Chains A and B, each alone.
Chain A
Amino acid sequence: MLHNLEQYVVLAKSDFDHFIVALAREQKVFAPVAKDFGQFSFEQVTEGRQVALKYIPTILPPKKYFMPQYETLATFDTSTGQNMEPVVEYEKMVLLGVHTCDLAGIQCLNMVFNERPKDLNYLIRKNKITIIGYECNDYCDKYASCRLVHNHTPNGGYDLFFTDISTDKFIVHVNTLAGEEIIEKANVFEPASEADLKALEKLRTEKRAIFAKNEVPIEHERISELFDKAYSSKVWEELAEKCLACGNCTNVCPSCYCFDVIDEPNLDLKTGKRYRKWDSCQNETFAKVAGGESFREERGARQRHRYYRKFKYPLDKFSRFFCTGCGRCSRTCMAGINLKETLSKLIDEQGMKNPNAGEVKLG
């Protein structure tokens, strides 16, 4: 048997609401909630019926809790000189229903902010967040490319992990002590049986058939080579013609973390705060220096930079792709720039197409 039975419990679906209510009494719980236009968003929940367990990736990834769009880094008071006090903003919370692509996104951010010099603001906040993952048994939609980057199955990064194994129950992998505490307090989980584990293994086998091929026709191992070759590709010029440089793609990306630091004085002009907010390498001024020179002036160069920051640079630095395969950038792009389509064009252009490795279905 692949899995250690002791690490698994089961939850009857009829007890799901009870679990959420009990959990939300202990601490704040955030989970995917259905919004208009078929969209979903992580929001605070207090009962089970608010949670949308079957959802396509939320508009914003859980990044918004780990690295809030606006975050105070320090408060200041200049009435007697340059006095500042560094602060961290955090909140104890549970994130529930996090898909494997988004777990991967959190792992990317962990690597970045753990790298020296360490970012205490991020690291302190992260430790206050309990993560309950949720398995996708099938593709969410045509934009996802999680198989390509090996994120269609769980690779850790959670305290508890739920999988829907039958019409009446979830099996739950207990990965940490924090997770175990939740299970014990909730008092609605039962030990898993051999049959439950078999059901999980059967599901994973079925998933292997569903996620049999990559979403673009290239081997996982050859992506690095593709980007070695594609730096001067014409595809970047094509993207330049479409791109509106709005920065939507980077905002919704689970592994984009670039930021700006800004001072906000209060009305007394003496006290105030220094905060950081999300910034985007797609903005024209992003790489501009005081002298006026911009080092990625062309939109094509900025789009290329985005792709290389997902598929090449982090591979060299952190030995992992920073594309999580969630598909948000393609889903949100107003100009219809599609990640799978871009990769396919690069693959074609570089003569690296392998139909056995994958096929592109753009819907």
Chain B
Amino acid sequence: MKAVKIKDSEYEIKKGKILKAKMLTTMEKYFEIALPGGESLDHEPGQFVEVSILGIGEAPISISSSPTKRGSFELVVRNAGKLSGALHKLEAGDEVGIRGPFGKGFPVRILEGNDLLFVAAGLGVVPLRSLINFVIDNRRDFGKVNILLGCRTPQNMLFNDELEQWGKRLDVNFNCTVDKADPDWKGNVGLITTLIPGINLEPERTFAVVVGPPIMYKFVIVELLKKQIPERQILVSLERHMKCGLGKCGHCQINNMYCCQDGPVFTYDKIKGIPEAL
């Protein structure tokens, strides 16, 4: 069979130049990436890109920066597989392939004017940060903002400088907890669910945005429902292996939905009866 070059292939990659790369913890590495000619990625908070190293492969990675950051975007990658392992070896000046952005992000237009409760556990802060920073950069368009953050130990905490800034702001209520403290830790100890009962909120005008490891959703959602937040105002972002990003390859399918096209952001009322979702 002959192979012929084609234009407009969905598999075509753009060259992404790594402007900055640094380890955030022993496991997670941060990358700031620019497209050729400073072209905008033009993403919505909560979307993802497919990142390639040709010869190694491609993997879906959440975009961590807000679209309000112009000229470049940010990813945070945990060293967990073949591609992420190879990414960890890259430094500023190196190149990666980028496809996307893909998927349905957080519905920012719908969130405007409402109070927001952000709940991030573990790596969940990485995609959620794209929305949190978007909200902070457009602060007057939103109501009250609560940010709850949980992670295993203080050493696992990502974006320490930024968290400190969020904590200092008067227009944002920030709280965090660790499962296991160390001697220097002065904050809360316990699971993230312990922070929810203490939050003061008006449920009918609050949207809860929850991102974390699969196991965390069930427990957090129970707490949010106790707070009377309507099911359609609870937003989650689901992790699946979105291999192609095009709603074809089947890996990310959740019952009749393709996570890469119908998600990764879903409202709880859309997925609550679906056994494969949570």
Chain A residues with CB under 8 Å of chain B are 68, 72-76, 78, 81-91, 112-113, 115, 117-121, 124, 231, 257-263, 265, 269-270, 272, 274, 276, 279, 281, 286-291, 293, 295-296, 301, 305, 308, 312-313, 316-317
Closest to A288 in B: B241
A290 touches B81 (CB 8 A): yes
B111 at the binding interface (Cβ < 8 Å): no
B54 at the binding interface (Cβ < 8 Å): yes
Partner of B95 from A82, A91, A286 at Cβ < 8 Å: A82
Q: How many residues of B contact A (CB 8 A)?
A: 50
Partner of B57 from A75, A262, A293, A313 at Cβ < 8 Å: A262
Nearest first, the 4 A-B pairs at minimum CB distance are: A258-B250, A86-B9, A313-B256, A76-B54
Q: CB-CB < 8 A to B170: which residues of A?
A: none
A82 touches B54 (CB 8 A): yes
B96 at the binding interface (Cβ < 8 Å): yes
Also in contact, A274 and B54, with CB within 8 A (given A258-B249, A289-B240): yes
A91 touches B1 (CB 8 A): yes
Partner of A89 from B2, B12, B96, B240 at Cβ < 8 Å: B2
Closest to B8 in A: A120
> What separation, in Å, do the CA atoms of A72 and B8 have in the docked complex?
16
B240 touches A287 (CB 8 A): yes
Partner of A290 from B214, B241, B252 at Cβ < 8 Å: B241
Partner of B96 from A82, A258, A269 at Cβ < 8 Å: A82
> What separation, in Å, do the CA atoms of A55 and B3 have in the docked complex?
33
> What separation, in Å, do the CA atoms of A75 and B81 have in the docked complex?
23
A290 touches B11 (CB 8 A): no
B46-89 CB contact bits vs A (8 Å, 1 = yes)? 00000011111111000000000000000000101100100000
A90 touches B5 (CB 8 A): no
A141 shortest CB reach to chain B, Å? 29
Q: A82-B52, A82-B95, A281-B250 are in contact. List 5 more A-B contacts (CB 8 A).
A: A82-B16, A84-B97, A120-B10, A258-B251, A279-B249
B271 at the binding interface (Cβ < 8 Å): no
Tell me the chain B residues, 185-224 only, with Cβ under 8 Å from chain A: 213-214
B214 touches A293 (CB 8 A): yes
Partner of B243 from A75, A81, A260 at Cβ < 8 Å: A260
B175 shortest CB reach to chain A, Å? 25
B250 touches A117 (CB 8 A): no
A85 shortest CB reach to chain B, Å? 6
B6 touches A89 (CB 8 A): no
> What separation, in Å, do the CA atoms of A81 and B98 have in the docked complex?
13
B3 touches A279 (CB 8 A): no
B143 at the binding interface (Cβ < 8 Å): no
B81 shortest CB reach to chain A, Å? 5
Q: CB-CB < 8 A to A112: which residues of B?
A: 248
B225 shortest CB reach to chain A, Å? 23
A75 touches B3 (CB 8 A): yes
B19 at the binding interface (Cβ < 8 Å): no
> What separation, in Å, do the CA atoms of A119 and B11 have in the docked complex?
9
Q: CB-CB < 8 A to B239: which residues of A?
A: 289, 291, 293
B59 shortest CB reach to chain A, Å? 7
B276 touches A296 (CB 8 A): yes
> What separation, in Å, do the CA atoms of A272 and B243 have in the docked complex?
19
A301 shortest CB reach to chain B, Å? 7
Also in contact, A291 and B213, with CB within 8 A (given A115-B247, A259-B249, A274-B54): yes
Q: CB-CB < 8 A to A270: which residues of B?
A: 55
Partner of B5 from A85, A269, A296, A313 at Cβ < 8 Å: A85
A263 touches B55 (CB 8 A): yes
B13 at the binding interface (Cβ < 8 Å): yes
Also in contact, A308 and B255, with CB within 8 A (given A119-B248, A274-B11, A287-B241): yes
Partner of A316 from B4, B81, B96, B256 at Cβ < 8 Å: B256
